[in-house]
Amino acid sequence: MWQDRVLDYIDEHATEIVTDLAVLVRMPSVSGSDTEIEIQHVLSDRMITMALDLDTWQIPLDETLAEPDFPGVEVDRSEAWGVVGRVAGRGDGPSLMLNAHVDVVPPGDMISWEGADPFSGRVTADTVEGRGACDMKAGLVASLWAVRGLTELKVPLRGDLVLATVVGEEDGGLGTYALLRRGWRADACVIPEPTSLDIAPATAGALTFRITVPGAATHASRRLSGISAIEKFIPIFAALRHLEKQRNAIKHPLAARWELPIPIEIGKISAGDWASSVPDTLHADGRIGVAIGEDISTARRALEEAVGAACQDDGWLRAHPATVKWWGGQFASGITELDSPIISTVQRCHAEVTGSPQTMWATPYGSDLRLMQGIGAVPTIHYGPGDAERAHSPRESVSINELLTATRALALIAIDHCGLT
Ligand SMILES: [Zn+2]
């Protein structure tokens, strides 16, 4: 049986699969870095050796970023590449896309890595470590090897199997937006983001914003004649915490497992330029979660109104209101119809490989699902190795066991979904 043969192939290549993940983790493909460009060429070369029909193209950045529905970027890029490899189906079966992002977030505070190299790709008895190991190079490697197993064994799939590696997921979804713009579609898509091998057919959204709070500078020794922008931000921050509580009071059933499914957080603040001055402008950059089924414009309005109301309660801010600007990643929420066949396919194949069922939930983070599903109308789910709690955190790592399980399951999902001739 083809299924058994491909599972044997994956078992025989387990060590290579783990090594491959370590090699890719050692490439620091931070969003917007030169390595983000380089890794796409490495993967494109790899797909040539796998004899896939290859579409490698330079993304026309100016045109793409100018599109009215472009989801936003947060880092500058001079160059970006799209890579899609296709195993042509031998019949008229449904097509499947595996879509994995190659970019990773920066390592963050080096102290929290406790002396470890963030891009070590160190392999322990049961994990591979390093930035991106979990989010989501393990999912990328699982996809690559699932496809490789199927092509090397010449498994006669009826529908097309498409492997897309994308840039810019972390800062808005440039890569997936670009491949949709180029015309790539499939009858279903699996994004192997870290779900601890659960199935996530929905994603909350996240909108990046900047609040600018005006103040009035003066020498700190005469601070009463100035206005501290930091002090004026405090009631605004309190208003955001209050809004967050209100917005999370009712949860979408798929988000019930999260204490806070749609958080609002300020990730970065800057104000003032001198220790002995009253700071006159504060910039607070943050993100607001978008509920499943909620419009982007509704979420934006809620935040703008909360900031506006806080300003009304303060004499200075009433006359000099804080402003809200939407910039960077604008992730809508998204959900795939729960009766889409890809959901039962993934559930069945996962159970076949592990012998146990999986739970279903929505991710609290934004992802490319909303582009595939929203713009592309492609039923899309997340299913991948790694605990998302390890993503973006110091000492990121992924379980080797989950990596190999995902590789096996993805191969079976492709066979099941695309069919055999
Ligand atoms: Zn990710």
The string of DSSP codes covering 7-67 is HHHHHHTHHHHHHHHHHHHTS--BTTSHHHHHHHHHHHHHHHHTT-EEEEEE--HHHHHTS
| Residue of 220, 236, 314 lying closest to 272 (CA atoms) | 220
Find the length of the chain. Answer: 421
- The per-residue pLDDT for range 11-65, each reduced to its tens digit, is 999 999 999 999 999 999 999 999 999 999 999 999 999 999 999 999 999 999 9
User: Ligand 1 centroid vs 341 CA: distance in angstroms?
Assistant: 24
Q: Which two tokens stand for residue 1?
A: 């049986």
What would you report as the CA-atom Rg of the chain, rounded to the nearest whole angstrom? 23
Q: How far is the CA of 193 from the centre of ligand 1 (A)?
A: 5
Distance from Cα 229 to the centre of ligand 1, integer Å? 35
Measured in angstroms, how far is the CA atom of residue 56 from the centroid of ligand 1? 22
Neighbours of ion ligand 1 (CB under 5 A): 135-136, 193
Over the stretch 117-149, which tens digit does the pLDDT of each residue have? 999 999 999 999 999 999 999 999 999 999 999
Q: Which residues contact 259 (CB under 8 A, 6 or more apart)?
A: none
Amino acid at 204: A
What pTM was computed for the model? Answer: 0.91
Task: Encode pLDDT of 187-238 as tens digits.
Answer: 999 999 999 999 999 999 999 999 999 999 999 999 999 999 999 999 999 9
- The answer to whether the CB of 386 falls within 8 A of the CB of 138 is yes
Q: Could you tell me the distance, in angstroms and rounded to a whole number, from the CA of residue 410 to the centre of ligand 1?
A: 17
Q: Percent helix, strand, coil in the chain (nearest 5)?
A: 40, 25, 40
Q: Tokens 């900047």 appear where?
A: 210
What stretch of H or E contains 97? strand 96-101
Query: Distance between CA atoms of 402 and 313, rounded to whole angstroms?
Result: 52
Dihedral sign for Cα atoms in the order 312, 313, 315, 316: negative
Question: 364 to each of 165, 202, 252, 371, how far by Cα in Å?
Answer: 23, 9, 11, 16
Q: How far is the CA of 101 from the centre of ligand 1 (A)?
A: 7
How far does residue 50's CA lie from ligand 1's centre (Å)? Answer: 25
131 CA from centroid of ligand 1 (Å) = 11
